Chains A and B, each alone.
Chain A
Amino acid sequence: MAKLRGTGIAAVNYPTGMNLGGDPSQALIHATTSGSFVVTLAATDLGQGLKTVIGQIAAEALGVSYEEVVIDTADTDTGPHDMGTFASRATHRVGNAVMAAATEARKALLDVAAEEFEAAVDEIEFDGRGNLMVRGVPARSMKVAEIASLAQFKYGRTIAGRGSYMKPKSDVDPETGAMDPDSTEAHACTVAEVEVDTETGEVAVLSIRSAYEVGRQVNPALVQGQIVGGAWMGMSHALYETTAPYYPAVDHSPRDFSEYLMPGPLELPEIECVVLEMPSSNGPYGVKGIGEMTANSPIPAIVNAIYHATGVRIDELPVTPEKILRGLDARKVAVS
């Protein structure tokens, strides 16, 4: 009996968004009297940090500080249509809609500023930090908040913008499958290292190290959160989880977390990543979706590492100790 180590790799691509029936998101933005900008949406934050990254995109596109942006979302009485938070679509779709709304709101702001400065619109500049000025005349500078207030009380104008982004429907050709099913593709390559106990059949995942290419990171800490969480989920999928342990048999289906196994903190491997940025042509600031894909490459990388360690090929998930021991037995018989 021994503990055998092995390394496996896997490389994947993953589509951003979908095309089923058209895939729209919409956004509204308006300025308050104090120069804050309220971004109104119906998109749901699942805990991945959507409100944060959309706030960053809105601030960037408006040319104001992140603190001046308020995200108001997940209410159908106020928020315009959003298809939903799934298909690795939200940052791409909602981000694009917010950029479009910000462009319109910015134009309204510039119109007021131009009038106040008695200058042409194309002479007005943002510094990206909440100030507007006449180009080349630093003395003629005002805060966005001041312009917003003047818009309300002196000029009687709204500073607001509407934005929509939609991936149009692409019908699938039923004969050839010709279709345009996504907006862009993100990529990942994972190297997993495992140790297999040949007496118990248990697999310890030692490390999951990955490179990701995600177009543009809006918030690197949240990207890393997805990568670490996804690596854990992929490991769990590869080695632990099932609602039908003996598919197609229907018995032994779990009712709670004492019967539905997942790796705990003690099983967590070392997880490391590097992230490349090669901007997409159609995402906001070049974004590609990373939401779903992070669980994908760890699964085959772990299964390939088990083969590398033991010579046992298992083509059935999850790879339980029982399957590994049966595989090792079959190999022994084959060798002898």
Chain B
Amino acid sequence: MSADLNIVGRSVSRSDGIGHVTGRTVYTADRAFPGMLHLKMVRSPLHHAMIKGVDLSDAERVPGFVRALTAKDVPHNRYTILSLIGVEPEEEFVLAEERVRFKGEAIVAIVAESEEAAMEAVSRVHLDLEELPAVFDVEEALKPGAPIVTHWGNNTFMYEGHPCRRVRLGDVEKAFAQADHIVEGVYNTSPIEHAPMETTGCIAVPEANGRFTVYTNTQALYFSLDNTSIILQLPGNRLHFVGGTVGGGFGGKVDVIVEPIATLAAMKTGRPVRYTYSRSEEMQVSSTRSAWRIYMKDGVTRDGHIIARQVTSYADSGAYSRQTPYALTKHAANAAGPYAIPNVSIDAYCVYTNRQPTSAMRGFGVTMASFALEVQMDKIAEAVGVDPWTIRFINAYHNGDMKPHRKLAEDATLIETMQAAAALVGHELPAELRAMTSAPRGDGQDGGR
């Protein structure tokens, strides 16, 4: 703790800790309102299908059924979460129109007096679906003749005219020709669940003054409010979003899925409406981390300097892209890791498949890059014949180095951090590695370059 600071640097007790451990913290799902209705979704049982018909007649006879909502009830049904900041095209449907693109996609919202009645009515909605061929693998989805998931004719998100986010620095092919070792790897990672203790949910309450108060566990209140305003074509001043302590986010509560339809249901019924995911919806329907496949090829000199890196990465976005396009941008900016590599070429693809959609998750494109490149570093160390510590020190970036995305490194402290880790575990580093710092090169410490 710095001598000139009084409070920053002190471990004061967490302001909400006592509430958490004594069960007094109020989460969204703890709230209840008189006359509150419950919303449950009719979801696609197929991965890819045309919707030929929806028959609600049996569902409407279930005691406690209040009303159903379909695509035609949603004022601006096709949306993209990031349209707020100019990302195009609008591609996802609040409720499916014509076609479903993943198993679990929402088709009809049922609002009922109780959760039980809502679930019973959901089970009595009859769907007439015509199954379509589906694609589930990132590279299969890019082959000619693959089933097309999107409405624009191919299965990639387009980055300003390119089917991938590109990073280019130097000349990788020339550097590969000069390299003493070529080290290649293919890395695959599984989709995973955010697994928050509190599932995604909200309660929309119509107020007497014509406004709607929406209690939500979103990670981003204005994101949710602004998207709800667009989808419902309702001025922002009619919406009041209230958050609070969230029972775990990890990126899973940045999508805007529950608030717009719950608010619409509250508008249509004039009553408070709760829409909260069950655990199985959280796992099978809500976004996961993308599956990734990363091809990495490095050119290395005999003394261990990485002089070229070529990366082709595919993130499986599932049926809709949500926040995933930005994960690829972040991935592309970080695929060289904390190392100085003068020649880099990265192609990072956001690929659509008929899987459960994916979106933001802790580490967002970087976690997968770190896994691939840090395993790759050990392979390089083995190829060169040096230990895993040394290979990282001699390639570590210094302040002032040019990163592949053409930003100069600043606040670089990898070398000091590795020195501290070695000291923590009692690993004795050679004197020349102990003497290194992240200071700009040219001060007598050029990292051997």
Contacts and interface: CB of A to CB of B under 8 A. Distances in A.
A47 B362 CA distance: 14
Interface string A247-272: 11110011111001010000000001
B246 A44 contact: yes
Contacts of A163: none
Contacts of B332: 177
B93 to A, nearest CB: 21
Given A188-B417, A253-B284, A300 B370 contact: yes
B248 A47 contact: yes
Interface stretch (A53-61, A107-115, A154-162, A195-203): A53-61
Nearest to A254: B283
B272 interface: no
Contacts of B352: none
Nearest to A63: B6
A242 interface: yes
Interface in B251-303: 251, 254, 279-280, 283-284, 288, 291
A49 B85 CA distance: 28
Interface in B162-179: 162, 165-169
A168 interface: no
A18 B370 CA distance: 18
Contacts of A260: 193, 195, 283
A57 to B, nearest CB: 6
A326 interface: no
A280 B410 CA distance: 9
B411 A178 contact: no
A322 to B, nearest CB: 13
Contact of B11 (A86, A213, A219): A219
B8 A57 contact: yes
Contact of B334 (A15, A44, A85, A276): A15
Contact of B366 (A14, A189, A281, A285): A14
B346 A177 contact: yes
Contacts of A33: none
Contact of A56 (B10, B239, B338, B363): B10
A49 B17 CA distance: 9
A219 B16 CA distance: 14
Contacts of B168: 175-177
Given A243-B193, A315-B375, A59 B424 contact: no
Interface residues of A, number: 118
Nearest to A49: B14
B59 to A, nearest CB: 23
Interface stretch (A72-80, A117-125, A142-150): A72-80
A278 B413 contact: yes
A272 B424 contact: yes
A84 interface: yes
A222 interface: yes
Best-surrounded residue of A188, A216, A233, A243 (most CB of chain B within 10 A) = A243
A179 B136 CA distance: 32
A209 interface: yes
Given A52-B15, A76-B240, A84-B219, A278 B416 contact: yes
A179 B333 contact: yes
A242 B192 contact: yes
Contacts, number: 371
A271 B429 CA distance: 22
A213 B8 contact: no
B11 A18 contact: no
A293 interface: yes
A137 interface: no
A288 B410 CA distance: 12
Given A11-B338, A52-B12, A317-B371, A44 B219 contact: yes
Given A46-B249, A84-B223, A209-B424, A317 B190 contact: yes
Interface string A1-38: 00000001111111100101110000000000000000
Contacts of B220: 44, 82-86
Given A52-B15, A219-B12, A303 B371 contact: yes
A211 B190 contact: no
B50 interface: no
Interface string A180-204: 1110110111110000000000000
Contacts of B326: 18, 20
Nearest to A85: B219
Contacts of A13: 334, 337-338, 397, 412, 414
B165 A244 contact: no
B425 interface: yes
Given A11-B374, A56-B7, A243-B356, A174 B222 contact: no
Contact of A210 (B356, B413, B421): B421
A164 interface: no
Nearest to B4: A128
A212 interface: yes
B338 A250 contact: no
A176 B338 contact: no
9 contacts: A10-B370, A11-B396, A47-B247, A56-B10, A84-B222, A175-B166, A187-B338, A220-B11, A274-B421
Interface of A: 8-15, 18, 20-22, 42, 44-47, 49, 51-52, 55-57, 59-60, 65-66, 71, 73-77, 79, 81-87, 128-129, 169, 172, 174-182, 184-185, 187-191, 209-213, 215-222, 233, 237, 241-245, 247-250, 253-257, 260, 262, 272-274, 276, 278, 280-281, 285, 288, 291-293, 295-297, 299-301, 303-304, 307, 313, 315-318
Top 5 A-B residue pairs of the complex, sorted by shortest distance between their CB atoms: A84-B220, A21-B85, A177-B167, A300-B374, A74-B243
Interface of B: 2, 5-16, 20, 47, 82, 84-87, 103, 136-137, 140, 159-162, 165-169, 185-193, 195, 218-223, 225, 239-249, 251, 254, 279-280, 283-284, 288, 291, 326, 329-330, 332-334, 337-338, 346, 353, 355-356, 360, 362-364, 366-367, 370-372, 374-375, 377-379, 388-389, 392, 396-397, 404-407, 409-414, 416-418, 420-421, 423-425, 427
